[in-house]
Chains A and B, each alone.
Chain A
Amino acid sequence: EIVLTQSPATLSLSPGERATLSCRASQSTSNFLAWYQQKPGQAPRLLIYDVSNRATGIPARFSGSGSGTDFTLTISSLEPEDFAVYYCQQRSTFTFGPGTKVDIK
């Protein structure tokens, strides 16, 4: 079973700043790694799939990178609507990481 860990647990930033979120897998995910955004009271929203592919309608400020067991979600310049919780996911098993909360500094 692949276990995903995310760091940091909380990231406190200001609008306009760059956010870098990390996801580490206990073993190789074969690049079936996705990122989601979730806001209170809403279903998760797929941002990135297969490491670096943006889902339909996702702004270009969101990008994903990495390989093997180490992956990164980067938000190049935080917009007010980007403050939320972000989860990584191993898509082939639908397993999620514990999440990183991005809040306003």
Chain B
Amino acid sequence: EVQLVQSGTEVKKPGATVKISCKVSGYTFTDYYIHWVQQAPGKGLEWMGLVDPEDGDTLYAEKFQGRVTITADTSTDTAYMELSSLRSGDTAVYYCATDSPTPTNGVLHHYWGQGTLVTVSS
């Protein structure tokens, strides 16, 4: 069974940095990208970026460029998303997700973590 298990709720002060983990199991970690998605309270889904666990290559959304760092640790099958210079507008649930461009044997590899709430407040 494929699982993406994220770390727990975080409360941070403005200007701080948060690092969220996403531990995967049930498939070969290096086979598929890991994406991170932000969802502010009552708002929609916003893609932040991705990491290719095979080689560590990353791609970031322009909105988060310079503040977000996404990494992958193949020794623990865990991806991380670090967001710096936090502000109140970063209060949100953050999701990791894994996705393949095409199905394999008629099945699409597509799974999400449970989400991690980050609250930024002084």
| Interface presence of B24 (CB below 8 A) | no
Q: Is the CB–CB distance between A43 and B113 below 8 Å?
A: yes
Give every chain B residue within 8 A of A94 (Cβ-Cβ).
Answer: 35, 37, 47, 50, 99
- Please report the number of residue pairs spanning A and B whose Cβ atoms sit closer than 8 angstroms: 44
Q: Does B53 contact A (CB under 8 A)?
A: no
CB distance from A6 to the nearest CB of B (A): 9
Whether A49 and B115, one on each chain, are in contact in the complex, defined by CB atoms closer than 8 angstroms, is: no
Interface residue? B110 (CB, 8 A): yes
In-complex Cβ contact of B44 among A46, A55, A56, A96 (8 A):
A96
Is B10's CB within 8 Å of the partner chain A? no
Tell me the dominant secondary structure on chain A's binding face: loop
* Contact (Cβ within 8 A) B112 A55: no
Q: Complex: how many Å from CA A92 to CA B113?
A: 20
Q: Do residues B110 and A49 form an inter-chain contact, with CB atoms below 8 A?
A: yes
Interface residues of A (CB under 8 A from B): 1, 32, 36, 38, 43-44, 46, 49, 53, 55-56, 87, 89, 91-99
- For the complex with contacts A43-B95, A46-B110, A49-B108, 16 further pairs of A-B residues with Cβ separation under 8 Å are A38-B45, A43-B113, A43-B115, A46-B108, A49-B110, A53-B103, A53-B108, A55-B110, A56-B107, A87-B44, A94-B99, A95-B47, A96-B44, A96-B45, A98-B44, A99-B45
